[in-house]
Structure formats: C-alpha cells, structure tokens
A and B are shown apart, each in its own frame.
Chain A
Amino acid sequence: MSEVVLKLENLTKKFGNFTAVKGINLEVRRGETIGLVGPNGAGKTTTIKMIAKILRPNSGRILIRTNHTELEDLQHVPSTITQIGFLIDIPAFYNMTAYQLLRYFANLTNYPRDKIDIRINELLKLFKLTEWKHEKVKNFSKGMTQKLGIIQALIHDPEIIILDEPQTGLDPLARVEIRRHIRELQSQGKTVFVASHMLYEISEVCDKIALINYGSIIGFDTVDNLALILKTSELNCVLLKPLKPSELEPLLNRLTERLNVYLDQNLDPMISKIPIKYYPEQQGLKIYYDGKNESKGEILKILIKEFESDFTVISYAQPKTSQLERVYAEMVKNNISNKGDV
C-alpha cells in the first residue's frame, strides 16, 4: 500500500454560525485518484481552500508529506505548497498572455528556469492551446480559460493535483478531453484529487470516492465498495439481436422465474416496478439483483447457458454513475435519518 501524502484530521471550518466543514477525516495515498462528490454548498470548495491555505480551519489539521519524509502539519509548512497544483473555482487570470502568465506561475513555484519554456510548450500542446500562447486571456473562451486553469495547476509538475470542478462550463467534448488528461496524470503516477458535483465525471476517473454532504464525509471508498450498502444492484446486458415483441412477455416471465432467487426481493418502486426490463433501443436487459457478487455470477451463467436459444449476451456492465447516484442518495438519506435519531 502506498504512503499517505495528504491527510485531513477533524477538519472544521465555520463561517459565523454556519459550519461549512464538520470534522472531516480523509487520507489520500500516493498515486490515488480521489473524487470528492457532493451537491453545491456541501463543503467541497471550502475543504480545498483550506488545503490551499486560502482559508484557515477553525479546528483540525491538514497533514502533507513534504520534501521531508514525515507528514507535516500544513500550518507549520512555512510557505505555499509547491508539491500541490491547485485549480480552485472557475479560474480567473490577470489580463496577460497565456505565456506570460504561465512563465510567472512557473517562476513562483520554483520550476527550473531553463526548462520553463519547454514545459509551457508541452502543456499548451497537450491542451491544444499552442496557437493561443501569445494571446491575452481576455480573448479566451470559457473552455480555453478552464484548460489554462488546469495547465497552471500542472505547470510546476506537482506530485498532487487538486482540481475543483474541472469540468465546469465545458462542452461535452472538452469534458471528455479533461477526463483523458486526468487519466494521463493517473498513468504518470500523480495523486489526483477531484471535487465535483457531477457524478459521472467522478465515477469515470476516480479510484475512490469521498461523498460529502452538509460539510461531513458520509462515505469514502471505491465505487464498488460503496455500492455494497445498496440492497439493489443493476446489471445491464447487451444482446446480439433484438427480442421479438411477440416473445417478449413470456420470455421475461421465464427469466424472472428462473432468476428469482437472485433478484432484489424488495425492489424500491422508485427505482423500478419490475426486476427485469427490456430496452429495445439499447437492445439490452436491465436486471435488478440483490447486489451479491455470487448472484451476479449466477445470473450471467444462467443467461448465457440456459437462455442460449432465446438470445445471446454479447456484453454486460454495471453502470457506475447510476450506482453512485443511488449510493449517494442512500447515504444522504441515512445521514439525515441518523441526524434525526440524535
């Protein structure tokens, strides 16, 4: 297991009577990609601002593994943290050219002077902004400004990259690009911490998810482990050929009967009224089962072997986003009811 590079201990931040962050505990290990997920106002940005030393916590502490080998209290680290690259909020820049800005930022973070130009060119090329190198940022589109925001976080080649809502204001294509860049950082062994309210963006790139609500972490684990709290899991199977409408009902009945022991017996009608559904457009079956891995295995075995004459399963998937959405909803519900109990 890799070493912890960033640790939040009982971190609390209050604004007057309002507690934005309540005793957060979190450990980030080297090379991990962590997602901090929560609705607007949940405390994501406040947490990141405290890590960036923009806000001072009321209590608790932030530990960081600096150049020295031990974890150090951020308050005792005398300066800005050059090991971390930050993108906080929607980036706003001084009205200078991209090159002037990036050179200044690289200088501030003590990046080797003789390598600054190479680094700037490399990142501008990576984010397809080379042609805009000597343009003033006021001429940049929102997406380009966001990309420049990510570049400035990476300019000094930090070990840890903290991105707050990196996909905000981006079109779908640009979002795909940002995800690709995050994956690239992962492949370079960087530690990435992404805060977002967009579950899909997070579930696609993160190893672990920290769910935050009303300033508290209500869950922190891999998506699969978080999903264990769900009584219902979803399995999507894509079929080779569409099912004939005339045969659909008897087939679904047979399926339900055969898979009954593995299906969710108390399926929440809010999720679905029936445990097996056919989607003609996707040419696929959606099966709500009891969430056990053994059940999933059995279901797939039965579908492939026993229904071979009816259809052919060509692929199956467990959609992480909807799973995460449900995990999140479940945890928020538990969080609220626990508060109610107290």
Chain B
Amino acid sequence: METRKDTLTGIKPIIYTIVFEIKKQKRKFYFFIVITILIAFLLGYILQLIPSNLLADSQLDYFSNSLQLISYLTLFSACLFFSGIICSEFNKKTGFIVFPKINKYKLIIGKYLGNLILVITIITIYYCLLALLGFYYYGGPINPLIFYSYGVAILYIIALSSFVTFFSSFMRSVNLTIILTLIILFMGFSIADQIVVLVFKDNFEPLYSLAYLGTLITGILNDPFPDPRYIELTFGGQGGPFGGSVEFTFGQWLTPAIGMGITLLILYLIGFFILAAILFKRRQL
C-alpha cells in the first residue's frame, strides 16, 4: 500500500478543518459583521448626534454605554455559530462522510476553532470601532481598561461557546439547540438571577449565571471598581390606589469580582468542554 503519513499525527487536519469551517460560515460571518458595524455606529455615533442625548462625561463611560449591547451580540453569535458544531454531524449525517477521514475530536476542535476565530473577529471589530470612536470624541490615549474589557469579552465568548457546544453534543437538531440555548441564556439565567436575589438578597451571589458573569465586560470599566457590588434600589411614592406611601426595594448585584468572574468563566469553559467531550464520545451515528 502507498505510504502516507498518518493524518492523526500533527495538526494538519485541524488546520484544514479550521480553514474549511471559515469558508463554510462565510455568509453568516458577513451578516454578523454588518450587524456589528451597524450596532457600533448606532450606539457609538448616531446616538451622539441626537441633541437630547448628551455625550458621556468620560471615555470610560462612553465605552461602558456603547458596550451595553455587546452581551447580546456575543450571545447571538455564540448560539448561531456553535449550535451546529456537533449535532449537525449526527442530525444531517455528514459524519458518515467525514468521520472516516478525520479523527472526530480533531474535526470538532477544527470546527470549534474556525467558528471561534470568526466570533472573536466580530467582537474585535466591535471593540476597534468603539476605540476609534472613543479616540474621535475624547482624543488619546485610549483608556487601557477597554483592553481588559476586551479580554473579558473574549473569555466570555469562549465560555458561551463551550456552553452552546455542550448542548450541541446531545441535542438532535441545530434549530432546537439554537432556540434552547437562546432561551436559557436570554431568559433562563435572568429569571433565575431575579429569583435568587429576591430570596437571598446579598447572601448569595448568582455566580452560577453566565448572564451575570457577562456583566464583568462592562463592570471592569468602572474606575474605581464598584464596592460594594450589591446595591439596593428603593422606589416609592405617595398616594397609591390604596392611599399612604408605597415603597419597593430591589436588590441588584452589579458585577462579579474580577478574579472570581474570570476564574468562573474559565471553570465554565473547561467544565462544559469536558461534558461535551464525554457526551460526544458516547454519541453514535
């Protein structure tokens, strides 16, 4: 038989898969780039043109305001790029063609890295545009905290992607994975956080919640960093429908501590990757 180098040794198959995956996701990527540029310009430039909407006092506040939608962007991109990473091979049966040609873990690693490159590029473009606009409005130098925020955003997107990959490892269809992960990430965590804060107040920080950990992206831009990180907001007024004064107190965790947030994001990504790998190993075509 013809002598050929075993494809498992070396990382070539992973690199080929990364390149192929990037080509495969090209249209989705372009769509997100357009959306990203629109959001960045809407929040960072168009809104500032409205006379009633005053420009933030400092460059950091400007970044913080303009990054409000970053978590939505990361959530959507993570769900749409990573949801099909494993389950599509089983659901669409493309695995029959590719599994005999490449070690299946290498295939998934390649697909994962290909998508990660695209998603990180999207986030990077967003931050670059914000940095440019920040420079345009406030002059240089760019506050270094934006780089920390960028770092956290990258870590957050990796944690999100591992979370979605985990779901992809056992779900049957890509669409179901997208819907389920979007529901959990958008609503599930938020509802759980509200309940936890309502019940436990400042006794229990919702560190389990990816949505809460995501607040570190803008939280890290605070200078000084918030202390205490738990606040209570009281709303009240005179003369409600039943007369007398009515007061409502809402508790809120502003952001996780930097060290804790980063550690948990790392744990999240490791934990979900391990779970995804175990389920993927057990799954049969």
User: Which chain A residues have a beta carbon within 8 Å of chain B's beta carbons?
Assistant: 49, 52-55, 65-67, 78-84, 86, 88-96, 100, 104-105, 107-110, 149, 152, 157, 159
Residue from A49, A67, A91, A95 in contact with B285 in the complex, judged by beta carbons closer than 8 Å: A49
Task: Please list the 3 inter-chain residue pairs (A to B) with the smallest Cβ-Cβ separation, ordered nearest first.
Answer: A79-B8, A88-B96, A52-B100
Binds A, one of B16-24, B58-66, B178-186, B271-279: B16-24
Q: In the complex, A89→B94 CA distance in Å?
A: 10
Residues of A within 8 A of B101 (CB): 80, 105, 108-109
Q: In the complex, A81→B8 CA distance in Å?
A: 10
The answer to whether A107 touches B16, judged by C-beta atoms less than 8 angstroms apart, is yes
Q: In the complex, A100→B17 CA distance in Å?
A: 12
Residues of B within 8 A of A95 (CB): 24
The answer to whether A54 touches B20, judged by C-beta atoms less than 8 angstroms apart, is no
The 28 listed contacts between A and B (C-beta, < 8 Å) are A49-B285, A52-B99, A52-B100, A54-B96, A54-B99, A78-B6, A78-B8, A80-B102, A80-B103, A82-B4, A82-B7, A83-B1, A86-B100, A88-B97, A89-B93, A92-B92, A92-B93, A93-B97, A94-B94, A96-B24, A104-B20, A105-B98, A105-B101, A108-B7, A108-B16, A108-B17, A108-B102, A109-B7
Knowing A79-B8, A94-B94, the reply to whether A53 touches B100 (Cβ < 8 A) is yes
Knowing A79-B7, A108-B7, the reply to whether A66 touches B93 (Cβ < 8 A) is no
User: Which chain B residues have a beta carbon within 8 Å of chain A's beta carbons?
Assistant: 1-9, 12-13, 16-17, 20, 23-24, 92-103, 284-285
Minimum CB distance partner of A91 in chain B = B97
Minimum CB distance partner of B92 in chain A = A92
The answer to whether B16 touches A104, judged by C-beta atoms less than 8 angstroms apart, is yes
Q: Distance in Å from the Cβ of B102 to the closest Cβ of chain A?
A: 5
The answer to whether A84 touches B94, judged by C-beta atoms less than 8 angstroms apart, is no
Q: Distance in Å from the Cβ of A149 to the closest Cβ of chain B?
A: 7
Q: In the complex, A14→B95 CA distance in Å?
A: 21
Q: Which of B13, B24, B100 has the most CB of A within 10 A?
A: B100
Residue from B1, B4, B24 in contact with A65 in the complex, judged by beta carbons closer than 8 Å: B1
Residue from A53, A89, A91, A110 in contact with B7 in the complex, judged by beta carbons closer than 8 Å: A110
Identify 18 new A-B residue pairs, CB closer than 8 A, beyond the known A55-B285, A78-B8, A88-B100: A52-B100, A65-B1, A66-B1, A78-B9, A80-B100, A80-B102, A80-B103, A81-B100, A82-B4, A82-B7, A83-B2, A88-B97, A94-B94, A107-B12, A108-B101, A109-B7, A109-B101, A157-B2
Q: In the complex, A104→B17 CA distance in Å?
A: 8
Q: Distance in Å from the Cβ of A141 to the closest Cβ of chain B?
A: 18
Residue from A67, A80, A96 in contact with B8 in the complex, judged by beta carbons closer than 8 Å: A80
Q: In the complex, A149→B96 CA distance in Å?
A: 10
Minimum CB distance partner of B15 in chain A = A107
Residue from B2, B6, B92, B100 in contact with A159 in the complex, judged by beta carbons closer than 8 Å: B2
Residues of B within 8 A of A159 (CB): 1-2
Q: Distance in Å from the Cβ of B34 to the closest Cβ of chain A?
A: 21
Residues of B within 8 A of A55 (CB): 284-285
Knowing A79-B6, A108-B102, the reply to whether A93 touches B94 (Cβ < 8 A) is yes
Q: In the complex, A161→B250 CA distance in Å?
A: 68
The answer to whether B100 touches A91, judged by C-beta atoms less than 8 angstroms apart, is no
Q: Distance in Å from the Cβ of A63 to the closest Cβ of chain B?
A: 14
Residue from B13, B24, B103 in contact with A94 in the complex, judged by beta carbons closer than 8 Å: B24
The answer to whether B284 touches A152, judged by C-beta atoms less than 8 angstroms apart, is no
Q: In the complex, A252→B3 CA distance in Å?
A: 63
Residues of A within 8 A of B9 (CB): 78-79
Minimum CB distance partner of A15 in chain B = B284
Residues of B within 8 A of A96 (CB): 20, 23-24
Residues of A within 8 A of B17 (CB): 104, 108
The answer to whether B1 touches A92, judged by C-beta atoms less than 8 angstroms apart, is no
Knowing A79-B7, A79-B8, A108-B7, the reply to whether A92 touches B284 (Cβ < 8 A) is no
Q: In the complex, A88→B94 CA distance in Å?
A: 10
The answer to whether A152 touches B97, judged by C-beta atoms less than 8 angstroms apart, is yes
Q: In the complex, A96→B26 CA distance in Å?
A: 11
Q: In the complex, A80→B103 CA distance in Å?
A: 6
The answer to whether A100 touches B20, judged by C-beta atoms less than 8 angstroms apart, is yes
Q: In the complex, A149→B100 CA distance in Å?
A: 13
Q: In the complex, A82→B7 CA distance in Å?
A: 8
Minimum CB distance partner of A157 in chain B = B2
Q: Distance in Å from the Cβ of A9 to the closest Cβ of chain B?
A: 20
Q: Which of B3, B13, B97 has the most CB of A within 10 A?
A: B97
The answer to whether B96 touches A110, judged by C-beta atoms less than 8 angstroms apart, is no
Residues of A within 8 A of B97 (CB): 88, 91-93, 105, 149, 152
Q: In the complex, A149→B94 CA distance in Å?
A: 11
The answer to whether A92 touches B96, judged by C-beta atoms less than 8 angstroms apart, is yes
The answer to whether B284 touches A54, judged by C-beta atoms less than 8 angstroms apart, is yes
Minimum CB distance partner of B107 in chain A = A108
Q: In the complex, A54→B102 CA distance in Å?
A: 11
Residue from B1, B96, B284 in contact with A91 in the complex, judged by beta carbons closer than 8 Å: B96
Q: Distance in Å from the Cβ of B17 to the closest Cβ of chain A?
A: 8
Residues of A within 8 A of B285 (CB): 49, 54-55
The answer to whether B100 touches A110, judged by C-beta atoms less than 8 angstroms apart, is no
Knowing A54-B99, A54-B100, A93-B97, the reply to whether A108 touches B23 (Cβ < 8 A) is no
Residues of B within 8 A of A93 (CB): 94, 97
Q: Distance in Å from the Cβ of B199 to the closest Cβ of chain A?
A: 43
Q: In the complex, A96→B20 CA distance in Å?
A: 10
Residues of A within 8 A of B13 (CB): 107-108
